[in-house]
Structure 1
Amino acid sequence: MTHPPTDAPATAPPPWTAAGPRAGLRLGRAWPRSERHVLLEWRRPDGGTVAGQWFADRAELLDALGATGGAASADTSAGVLLQPGGADRRLRRLAELARTGELLVHRPERRAVLRTAGGYLKAVRPSRLADLLARTERAAGHAAGFTVPVRLGHDERLGTALFSTVPGRTLFALGADPATAPGDLARAWLRAGRALAALHAAPAEGLPAHTAADEHAVALRWAGHAWRFGLLPRPDPASLPAAPEPGPVRLIHRDLHDKQLLTGDAAAPGLVDLDTLAAGDPALDVANLLVHLELRAAQGLLTGGRAELARTAFLGGLAPDEATLARAGGYAAATRLRLAAVYAFRPRWCALARRLQAEALRPMGGGGAPA
């Protein structure tokens, strides 16, 4: 099977989509690994998910099928391997673990997250567990202002680590719920802004650096995948956003959005997915969170008025200086470009992804934080 041409039109469906309807599944999202390999997540009619992979090379597909075994199956005409119930050739015990908990995330051969009676169980390849433990321990010691997951135990043989549950609802769920009173929404975002200010003021020693150039490269890498698979129109290179202006180095989350912030208890709001904590520019966190508010409004998951309420409350709690707000405008363009590519790999949001890319390519005027 051949992979799609470099300049395939944005309306051409990627090759892996044909496998879903034949298996009674709907594609939810995909993560490109290369031009010839994509990780997949399918939706079942009952709301559950099935992991999978697309291979441009039929021999690689059949090799993966034979090594995965169990409940795995292949649609060779579409180049797709389906991996229900945690079937995985590298996360060897995942299928067994999935019978004792709810499999929430399964990125084949890389990682998985399960909800269990004792907390959230993360599974990686056993050879990667030491790195996971080191990163989460280091991150937990830096997350000032937030309630964060606590590691309860781990199993080196299985490649798993168990973490405590962080109380509260995500700010995504809070905003999307029409029953949430405006005052409650504003208070939650105000507290999140204050907690993020404390995080940005905490020491960043020992954390990996993430520069403005790094963030720009991430956005272009994602966009390149979407262009090569024909999911977004390839723009004139001259229209691409420039790398953001570098700023002061502080402790940052690096991938902050409304699904990782929780209302928490009276002591502090919650923060999850700490693996990305880094030493970088706080303006990146500001831009990422505010652009996600734009995205939720565009998705129809948050009204424009509630998005503006959340934005105002968050900035009120964070109290960023003018220089940070100005740099956030530069990061916002890179964030929009990255999110356009990410959502282009989610069929439900293809049209929105094209609008996001157009917004990212629009010339900036006046700087400042994203509106």
Structure 2
Amino acid sequence: MIAPAHRAAARRAGADRAGADGHGADGDGATDLVGRLSAYSALPGAERLLEAESLSALHGRGIVPRRLRVKPGASVLVGHCGVREDVADVPGGGGIAVAGWTLLTASRDKRDGVLRRAARSGAPVHEHLAAAGTFLLSGGLEADPRIGRSVHRLLRREGGVGGADLQVLSYNPVRHAVIVLPGGGDVLRVAARPLDRLLHLAQQWRELGVPTLPLHPTRDRSVVRCAHWGAGDLSSRAPSAGEPTPASSGTAAAAAGATGAAIARLHAAPADGSLPTARLGPRLPATLAELEALLPHRALAIAQLAGELAARLPERPATGLLHGDLSPDQVLVDSPGGEPRIRIIDLDRSGTGPLGADLGSWLAACLTGRDEHVGAALLEGYVAGGGDLPARDELAAWTARALLATALDPVRRFLPRAGEAVEERLDLAAAVLADPALLPAPGGAGPVPVPMTSRDAVPAGPTSVPGPPMSADIPALVHDGAETWHVERAWPDDGRGRPLELRGPGAEGEALRGARMDALTGQVTLHAPGEDPRLPGLARTLAAHPGARIVSLRPGKRAVVRIDEGGRPVRFVKIVRPGRASRLLDAIERAHAFDGPFRTPEVLAADGDTVTFAALAGTTLHEPLPLRDGTWRRAWRDVLEAWADSCARAGAAPPDAPVHGPEAEAEVLRQWRDRAADVDPGGAEGRERAVEEALRSLASVPAPDHPALLHRDLHDKQILHLTGERPGLLDVDTACWGDAALDLGNLRAHARWRELQKLWSADHAAELRALIDETARSSSISPDALAAYESSTLARLTCVYALRPRWRASARALTVEGVAG
């Protein structure tokens, strides 16, 4: 099972952040997927079709949604089946009687056409109450707006066969249905258009000796017939829990190898002028625009990924006859005791086109299905069959293209945790483009493992896993046996390897785990779940509170655990290295002036390596609030007034207090520049320019005459909003004395960064910047000092996020922002 990529836990109520280490933490920008889909559809009432519960309520019976198609402003169409024990695991929904569709449309003409066609055949269509300006219809397969007529004819030809007798293997409303006739001997494919092209291609394949099923025409040009064959497809041969996975299955690998040899034969076929062009869609997948609309927090990264893909796809690729949608589920397998036999099916997209598209499509499916050995076996069979593999970079480009083209499939097919699966495919596309060595290779399952040592090993059993050979780059994914972990955050090498915070399998993708990566070899050593050898308080806290969960983890330095024990109030435990808790308490005492203007977490208990805090109510201002009614402006105005009030309440700095002025800030920036020097070499030049520009600006700022109390890491994730209450402030343990311009410059820089990340709109960011500028003027803060600290923060963020694979491209763009700003 592929690990989720969706960071649902990062966008929780502010209580989940109380006491957490928010310094440089990534925001996932994730909101409710149903809400986003509904907004994207631009049709009132669309949310009723997007979840099984509301769809079942609409129909008055249990419904399992299977297929989704959204045309913004025009229609939402869902294919579904009924809930029946004997068909619960059948993709199409079992018998015709339980297969159906529901359509929300803004077109009266479309509504009238559906009703008119159904009336001619006598198939029932139900019209439901709908919001003004829309029409809501539903019906069974026989009433399908495009293929219902053919299904109706089929039922008549079969002499009154009932819905329970015809089994539906696959149903995609207004596109196609695959139906098994009684007795299981024949299979019919019913389509919305004539299938002459498919019949011609199937004949060509068979004449070339490529194993596929013979297709036979029927009296209806939109229906073809073939024999039922095999024991299932290659993807369905996944064993149950506890058995070997498909990747280790000899039958699956042998079948994949046979498929590779067959595809090599297909690709080597001489050009035939009678063959149509493959239906691959545009060079850059059309899904990109929809992805940007549904994932606004990743819009910039998606655009940059598209640009990288456009540059990497070959202008003049090798062409020939190809399948067009090759994947393990397109290969039927039968192994009655000897070598498996195969048949390649679903030739709808077949035709002439770039040969690399077939290989990339197969590898993409294997990566998302965690069947790397099946991917490698196909490539091995392809080479053995005389096929010429594309160069590694080109193969990576075709794989990334296929990942992007199918990125929305989890949403369109109502798969569990669809949002996470979509983001995972984006991460995989970025990873294979950045490092083609991650792809499976002939003769193996992927990159050659690097010899491991377990420098931070503990008796509970940390696991060493391979990273990129001889590379200092930080991977986006880390594999640990059957599990895949996403690199959520990373930090510079502290002498024990680069600390990694990994997010992986667990409820809603919440599981966090620590790891270390050798900066020279790429070797990654995973800590045992819930343990860190330098933070013994972590395992102790989790053992004392079953059900507690880690919400933040910086290996070797700090962790935050959320404890929710039913009737007791929620609390958070910040864990540091033994003997370091007193430093936290000293810093909190130093920041006491913040308590009053702000709400701050109450300290409930402390020992040598833990401090327990009460939870604060509210949500972080990382979540953009409404603009039009003034909520966003009022929230930030209250924050900035509380900040100014805290500075005034704190009074003068003690005579012996260290002061964090422009020189100290410049030293922090130089340290981050050095820490990021050996990662992301492609962005090094831009980072250097941004850092040098910031250092020049800081050099012109005088030391503060009257040091103020600073938070020193003031940004949106540190602030909680609760209507009618004072703003909440987190992580005051970074507080110190210094230049007041630093806090406002840091906050101003984060506003620009959130806009660049597409987490905030330009108007949200501009509103906050204007309020910051007003506060700076009223506090007599020099505009030059404010600009210098903002420039320094922007340059530092380019270094911090260079270590985080997900945001690396955005960090490169920020180098331009920082210098241009």
The answer to whether TM tops 0.5 is: yes
Secondary structure of the corresponding residue to residue 126 of structure 1:
coil
Match of 1:106 among 553, 559, 563: 553
CA contact (8 A) 2:659 2:736 kept: yes
Question: C-alpha displacement at 1:228, in angstroms?
Answer: 2.4
**Amino acid paired to 2:550:** L
CA contact (8 A) 1:37 1:53 kept: yes
1 CA distance for matches of 2:745 and 2:716?
A: 12
The reply to whether residue 224 of structure 1 matches residue 674 of structure 2 is yes
TM-score (normalised: structure 1) = 0.80
The reply to whether residue 241 of structure 1 matches residue 695 of structure 2 is yes
Q: Which runs of 5+ in 1 are unaligned?
A: 3-11, 58-76, 365-371
> What residue in structure 1 maps to residue 604 of structure 2?
152
The reply to whether residue 41 of structure 1 matches residue 41 of structure 2 is no
> What residue in structure 2 maps to residue 73 of structure 1?
none
> What residue in structure 1 maps to residue 562 of structure 2?
115
Question: C-alpha displacement at 1:324, in angstroms?
Answer: 2.7
Q: Deviations for 1:214-243, whole angstroms, at most 9, x for unmatched residues?
A: 111112211222222235323368656322
CA contact (8 A) 1:91 1:123 kept: yes
Distance 1:141 1:306, change over 3 A: closer
CA contact (8 A) 1:291 1:336 kept: yes
**Amino acid paired to 2:813:** R
Question: C-alpha displacement at 1:47, in angstroms?
Answer: 1.8
Q: Deviations for 1:196-225, whole angstroms, at most 9, x for unmatched residues?
A: 111222225355421111111112211222
2 CA distance for matches of 1:335 and 1:238?
A: 13
CA contact (8 A) 1:26 1:44 kept: yes
**Amino acid paired to 2:684:** P
TM-score (normalised: structure 2) = 0.38
Distance 1:107 1:336, change over 3 A: same
Match of 2:750 among 273, 281, 292: 292
CA contact (8 A) 2:558 2:574 kept: yes
> What residue in structure 2 maps to residue 275 of structure 1?
733
Distance 1:18 1:186, change over 3 A: closer
Question: C-alpha displacement at 1:322, in angstroms?
Answer: 5.5
Distance 1:168 1:18, change over 3 A: closer
Question: C-alpha displacement at 1:25, in angstroms?
Answer: 1.4
CA contact (8 A) 1:119 1:165 kept: yes
Question: C-alpha displacement at 1:313, in angstroms?
Answer: 3.6
**Amino acid paired to 1:47:** G
CA contact (8 A) 1:30 1:39 kept: yes
Q: Which moved more, 1:287-296 or 1:325-334?
A: 325-334
Superposition CA RMSD, Å = 2.8
Secondary structure of the corresponding residue to residue 137 of structure 1:
helix
Q: Which moved more, 1:20-29 or 1:329-338?
A: 20-29
> What residue in structure 2 maps to residue 126 of structure 1?
578
Structure ranking higher on relative contact order (CA contacts 8 Å, 6+ apart): 1
**Amino acid paired to 1:138:** R
Match of 1:254 among 699, 706, 712: 712
> What residue in structure 1 maps to residue 28 of structure 2?
none
> What residue in structure 2 maps to residue 307 of structure 1?
765
**Amino acid paired to 1:37:** G
Question: C-alpha displacement at 1:323, in angstroms?
Answer: 4.2
**Amino acid paired to 1:205:** A
**Amino acid paired to 1:184:** T
Distance 1:317 1:15, change over 3 A: closer
> What residue in structure 1 maps to residue 634 of structure 2?
187
Match of 1:94 among 527, 538, 556: 538
Q: Deviations for 1:249-302, whole angstroms, at most 9, x for unmatched residues?
A: 111111110000111463521111001111111111111101101111111110
Q: Percent identity?
A: 32
Secondary structure of the corresponding residue to residue 25 of structure 1:
strand
**Amino acid paired to 1:349:** W
Question: C-alpha displacement at 1:90, in angstroms?
Answer: 2.2
Question: C-alpha displacement at 1:42, in angstroms?
Answer: 1.5
The reply to whether residue 170 of structure 1 matches residue 633 of structure 2 is no
> What residue in structure 2 maps to residue 60 of structure 1?
none
Secondary structure of the corresponding residue to residue 297 of structure 1:
helix
Secondary structure of the corresponding residue to residue 516 of structure 2:
strand
CA contact (8 A) 1:168 1:264 kept: yes
Distance 1:182 1:29, change over 3 A: farther
Secondary structure of the corresponding residue to residue 152 of structure 1:
strand
Question: C-alpha displacement at 1:153, in angstroms?
Answer: 1.1
